Amino acid sequence: MNAIEPEIVALCKKLIAIPSVSGAGTRQIAEFCAREILAPRGIEARTISSPKEGPDQVNLVAFVAGARHTVAPLLLNTHLDTVPPGEPALWTECGGEPFEASIKGDRIYGLGAADTKLDFLAKAIALGRRGEGDRDRDVWLVGSFGEEHGLVGAKELATSNVIPRGAIAMVGEPSQLKVVTAHKGLMAFELTIHFSPVRTDKEIEGRKIMFTGKAAHSSTPALGENAIAKALEAIGAQMKSQVISIDGGDAVNKVPARCEAVVAADTATRFDRSVTETVKRVTHFIPAEAIEALKQFVRALRGFADARGPAEADYAAPTLTSNLGVVRTSDDAVVVEFELRPPPSLALDAVRDGINSVVARIADSAPALKPRLVEKRANPGFRSANGSEALEMAMGALARAQLPLETGVKAGCTEAGVYAAAGLYPIVFGPGPSTGVIHAPNEYNLLSDVEGAIRFYSALLE
């Protein structure tokens, strides 16, 4: 293992310190990368604001000419946005500060350390080290926005004239320095169940009950514990309890670690858990049939996913996975956000048909509730062809960088599917672990992997 330079470690810390949560935008981190990382290395970059999402959401794009313009150009793509950090107190390795990097041995902790700020840094360092006459082919370096809420930045680039068709794309995602040749798709939905609230003659005193689970990336839901599912099962088992509200999760692509229910004070003691303070007084509550419908939907969603996914090479069953990420209630509706991740061979239309059938059964069993399903996004999976130039280039770079010649697949969805659909030839690669690490407190990368990624990208650029 080669030692990583102190200057690079310092830049790692600075990148983690810049908040770039997906909904808030990437302008600040993109401008930092252009000014503090790329410009000192002689690389000029520009920011392209999103025409749909506003000036704070930007793609960072740099072009560096190579010696051969007749060969396929290279796109080095990494997203700069992150999911929300969740409860700061759970970031114990960072002292409760997810934006304050902490280094312990070979591990660097902090939000975005693995997913995927440090991969962008590795690409920028490698590109800056290649002299003008040493660059083999034209290179586009991209720091994209909105990957965590629908691959928005990559989709905007793919439909523009900014990046070239036919390019070989190296899409940054934590892969432990393995060359990833396939990943799943992702479909996100919003289900709204309308209801008529049950009115009371007098005010109800509400008590808050907290259900806790374990956060995980939604591509590996078995590694987490879904607090929303726990809450619905517990509430469903106590149907005589008067439920005033349910609120859980902070992102559809995270297994929710917390879900809060407010129930009538005189029924709160039925739950086998601590009851917190009184929170509000109301004159209505959610009807039992709405709670039951929601509970049945969650069960049906899991059952559909477990039964529908076809067997596929390199993926363990069930190959179609689901996650209930967010639940919110109002006076007359409950809204849930959920997603499914189909393997590359499963058509997105087959998933749509299955989910529509599940919702139709809920509507038939409780017609007064009027459930309404909205598809929020649909991102394709991808699988690289055996013997493709992109795969050969990546494996050759591994060999020259003296890294293990290992390939793999991802359960998560990446920007590679978007670029493949747009006529590019992607491979997924990046430093650090993914499973059980990203979209969870105490996310970390390995400094040795960051150094290895710099060697890989340097070899790729030869």
Domain limits for position 343: 186-379
Tell me: do 254 and 268 sit in the same domain.
yes
Name residue, tokens 């929020």.
Answer: 376
Tell me the mean pLDDT in the region 23-41: 97
CA gap 333, 312 in Å, rounded: 39
Tell me: do 199 and 345 sit in the same domain.
yes
Q: Among the ranges 115-129, 131-145, 232-246, which has the highest mean pLDDT value?
A: 115-129
Tell me: do 310 and 389 sit in the same domain.
no
Name residue, tokens 């060697």.
Answer: 455
Q: Which of 350, 379, 408 is the last residue of a domain?
A: 379
Tell me: do 109 and 256 sit in the same domain.
no
Give this prediction's pTM.
0.83
Look at residues 48, 61, 57 and name the one whose alpha carbon lies nearest to residue 24. Answer: 57
Tell me: do 261 and 365 sit in the same domain.
yes
1 falls within a domain: no
283 in Cβ contact with 200 (< 8 Å): yes
Asked whether the predicted pLDDT for residue 255 surpasses 60, the reply is: yes
Omega into 197 within 30° of 0, i.e. cis?
Answer: no
Tell me the mean pLDDT in the region 391-408: 97
| CATH number, residue 166 | 3.40.630.10
Tell me: do 346 and 432 sit in the same domain.
no
- What pLDDT, on a 0 to 100 scale, did the predictor assign at position 433? 95
- What pLDDT, on a 0 to 100 scale, did the predictor assign at position 236? 78
- What pLDDT, on a 0 to 100 scale, did the predictor assign at position 1? 54
CA gap 323, 222 in Å, rounded: 10
Low-confidence winner among 22-31, 267-276, 284-293, 374-383 (lowest mean pLDDT): 267-276
116 in Cβ contact with 434 (< 8 Å): no
Q: What domain count does the chain have?
A: 2
CA gap 337, 323 in Å, rounded: 9
Q: Which of 353, 379, 405 is the last residue of a domain?
A: 379
pLDDT, the chain, mean: 92
Q: What is the pLDDT of residues 433-460, one digit of tens each?
A: 998 899 999 999 999 999 999 999 999 9
Tell me: do 143 and 94 sit in the same domain.
yes
Q: What is the pLDDT of residues 137-164, one digit of tens each?
A: 999 999 999 999 989 999 999 999 899 9
Q: Which of 351, 379, 407 is the last residue of a domain?
A: 379
- What pLDDT, on a 0 to 100 scale, did the predictor assign at position 3? 84
